[in-house]
Each structure stands twice: as C-alpha cells, then as structure tokens.
Structure 1
C-alpha cells in the first residue's frame, strides 16, 4: 500500500521523488541511525551495510572525523602516565632518594616498583588506594585501561612489550568495528598509547614488538576481553 512518502529533495530537482520504502532500506536506515549490528557481526555491519551505502557517506565521514578529533583532544589534555627510563632505573641503584623524589614516591615504593611487585598490565601502580576513579582509601576497581592517564601509574621499560601489543590490538580492531564505534571506544586509549610509545626510540619499540612473549599476548587478550576487570 502506498503512503505517498517522498525522498529528500536533491539539488537540481523541481520536486522530491516518491520514496520507495522497502525492508532493505528500512533495515539500512536503522543500522545507520543506531550503529549497532542486528543479527550479524559488527564487521558485517561495517563492511556489508554501512560501507556500501554511498549516499550518505560524506556526512557520515564528517561525524566520524569529529568524534575522532574529540577523543584525540581528550588524550592530549589528559596526557599519559609517567615513564621511567632504563637510565632512571640504573641511577636508582646509586641515588634512589633522588629518583624516588622525581617520580613522586618514597624509596620503599620505588624499590617495589622496580622489583615488579606493583605491576598491573601496562604499568606499575604506586598507590592503589588513592585512585581518582575510586573513593578515597578504597582499592581502585577501574579498568586497567584507565591507568594510561592515572597519576598513580608509572611505566617502566619492561612494560613496553605489553603497551605495544595493546596499541596494535586496538589498531587491528578498526577492521572489526564501524568507524564510529572504534572512535568512541578506542580512539582515546589508542592515542594515549601512541603518545606513550613516541617517548621511546623507534628501535626500542620495534624490539619490544618482536620480543613480546606468548605470555604477554595471553595477558593482553584477557585484558581486552575484560577478563581482568573487577566486577
């Protein structure tokens, strides 16, 4: 049955043309509006539905670009965790007091941090009960992804392989999600990790990627599927 619906008027048209309402068009409209898969995977949504609809592609790209820019701006404002270099760790052997002061911790915490006793996933946590993400005095229950800009986090050289793996996995997920979903979920930590890796020599980052172990990859897999979150 016809409902006398018309399409949006295009440039050069004297009047809008009749709109043919079909199940396929209705489904595509719903998917565009909600950016969520229905009875299919997120990758199918991105590649088989949204990517094939060129009619509104330019507008969609503008929206995605704006979302990406917003998340990147957040990353630039919030920054990333404090980083200890190999030289800092070597210096801590002979001048622990100075290195501890530079990193905002006491000597005992510095020792535990260097020994790996305070490790989370991508860093060490120097004060688990003073997190900005939990009530004062209570253990932090936030996702380890939030360590990226936490004042309690300190990155040491041994954390570099895990940081590289997480960065690479977030990048790989671009092909599994719609551009908007990726921007909203991963653009912020991806940018923070990119900035963190940029603090290291390119060769060190390459070596960390090559030297990552199966154990590192297993930890990252569990981390990104949120198996390590406290629930």
Structure 2
C-alpha cells in the first residue's frame, strides 16, 4: 500500500535512465514541477545544482513511469504530513527518522538496496552503483548516430569492458557469429579499398593502363576489347569509367550498380581520365555547396572521405596538368542541374 525506500529507488533509478536528469535535479522534485500538457505529455521543471532552473518534455516512456509512480504513491500522500505530500519521492520508512520521508536516499541505503537484490559486478563483489553516472546510460540509449565521432563509442562507466563486449559484440548462435564475421570482413575490405590509390590516367590509352596498372588490369579480369571499351568511354558513369557495373559492389550482384556519383570516387572499379574532369569539377562544386549548408560534423560524416579522395585526384600536376584543370573548371556553372541528384540531395 505504502511504497518503501526500496520501491522508490527502483522508480527513481529507472526515471533517471529514461530522462537523463542528474541526481540533484531529481532529489527535490515535487508534484508542482509536473505540468501535464494534454493527456500523454508532461513538461517537467527541475533545478540543476550547477546551473539553474531547467525544463524538459518527457518521452512517452518516462511519462508512463512517472504516472505509474504518482498513482502508486497516491494513497501514501493522503497519510503523509502536509509538508511532505507534494514531494515527488515521498515514501514510508519505519526504520529511519520516519515513518514518512521525502529526502534523497543515502549511500548506505543504496548499498543495502544493491545487496538485497544480489547485484554484483564482474569481480563478484556488490555492484558499486553511482547515481551520477545514470546520465551516461541515458546518453548511450538516446544516441543513434554513426559510430565515428559518437559518444556511444566509449564504454559506459557503469559497465566493464567485458560486459560491454558480451552485450554488444557477443553472438550466441552459429548463424549470428557467421553474420558478425561477414560484417567484419566487409568492413575490412571497405577499409582496404579506401586505402588504395585512385586509378587515374593522364591520357586515354589502353597501352598506358596496361603498362602503369598491371595489377589493376589483372584484378578487373577484362579482355582487350573490354579494356578498350573501358578507356574509350563505353563504360562511363558520371564521374569515372566503371570496370563492371554488374559486379554488385554496392548493390545486388548481376544488377546495375545503384551507387551515388560520389561513391565512385572510392570504388576499386573506377578509372579516372581527362574526359571525366568536368564532372569531377561539378562534383567538387557540389561538395562546396553542401559544406555551406551543413555543419562540419555532418559534412565529414556524409561526404568527408569522398571530398578527400576528390582533392587527391584534382591536385594540380599530380595526375592532370593545371591547364587541363582550369579548362574543366570553366565548364562548371555551379548548379545542381549539372549532377544526377535525387530531390532530397539538392542544395538550393
């Protein structure tokens, strides 16, 4: 009937994980800080000790939990002293100064709560639960960005490296392990492809390709007729000549490659020649427009590696002469209509 400190701690810990509010913000919450905006939304006001008063719109999950706690503690509030009835975490405690308490739980109470539930760490000792680290768990659950530059890439302080590895990297069944191995192999191959230098011909001669890139020619497995088509333009895509559009590197095998124009910059099947310079310049202008409308982190996450490869290809006198680069740049009008873009990829 009356929630005890053990029940309250369970609610409070879960509420902290769901909202990310620091302990000093949770300790002094009252019913007056809970502002219902409709039937399913709560605007919560709280005071963060190191800053000032803040507010947050709770997620549906946090809203349901808070409603469940207020319903659970409603009867207790009727019997609590008038000065404690508005405290959010009011509970019955016959062993303390109580029997009615609203103050934060002490460290000793938390340790007793952990021991009563048999929570232990990897060392077999009672789990050292740090209330101030609950926000880290909230951030890790909320973060859904890519791993590169993500806060989720660091270990949760409430977990050991072994637990993190078992939880996120462990695969239980042989099929799951095979899928994980396949993902790892694909990632490693992708990294190797990125490390390979671009295949750039200063001219458009099959003899030059065979002479300067014998390993590349061997890996493509093309005969003389196919090599002539590759260098001559019969296999051109927007930014390069493609060794095999049906190879399935970026889509189903046996079907035309669905990759976007900039993806070709890092593809091992791509061959860049002087006739591709105007389109490469158009792609550089497109990257510049994207840079102007995106944050640095967003741009580097989406286009960064392609922009670096493009800069490597278009470095003056590295592959093409400055005169050829200037002539190609003169053909660029700096407009989205120059590229085969989807509507959502436009910059205007």
TM-score category, normalised to shorter length: 0.5 to 0.7
**What residue in structure 2 maps to residue 78 of structure 1?**
194
Q: Does structure 1 conserve the Cα–Cα contact (< 8 Å) formed by 2:241 and 2:271? A: yes
Give the alignment's Cα RMSD to 1 decimal.
4.0
Among candidates 46, 59, 74, match of residue 5 of structure 1: 46
SS of 1:166's equivalent in the other structure is helix
Alpha-carbon shift at residue 106 of structure 1 (Å):
2.5
| 1:152 pairs with 2:269 | yes
CA distance in 2, matches of 1:131, 1:199: 33
Distance 1:2 1:162, change over 3 A: farther
Counterpart pick for 1:190 among 307, 314, 320: 307
Look up the match of 1:37.
Answer: none
Judging changes above 3 Å, is the alpha-carbon distance between structure 1 residues 219 and 181 closer, same or farther for their aligned structure 2 residues?
A: closer
Check whether the contact 1:131–1:152 (CA below 8 A) recurs between aligned residues: no
* 1:18 aligned residue (41, 53, 69): 53
Work out the CA distance in 1 between the residues paired with 2:192 and 2:292: 25
Provide closer, same or farther for how the CA distance between residues 136 and 144 of structure 1 changes in structure 2, counting only shifts above 3 A. same
Q: What are the ranges of 5 or more consecutive residues in structure 1 without an aligned counterpart?
A: 10-15, 28-64, 68-73
Q: Structure 1's 174 and 18: CA in aligned 2 closer, same or farther, altered over 3 A?
A: same
CA distance in 2 between partners of 1:77 and 1:203 (Å): 23
Q: C-alpha distance in 2, partners of 1:185/1:129?
A: 25
Q: What pairs up with 1:211-230 in 2 under 5 angstroms? A: 211-212=328-329, 221-223=338-340, 225-226=341-342
Structure 1 residues 201 and 220: CA distance shift in structure 2, 3 A: farther
Q: Which runs of 5 or more structure 2 residues have no equivalent in the other structure?
A: 1-30, 34-44, 58-147, 151-189
Indicate the structure whose relative CO is greater, using CA pairs within 8 Å and at least 6 residues apart: 1
Alpha-carbon offset, residue 145 of structure 1: 2.2
The answer to whether the 8 A contact 1:125-1:153 is kept is yes
TM-score (norm 2): 0.40
- The aligned residue for residue 66 of structure 2 is none
Query: Max radius of gyration: which structure?
Result: 2
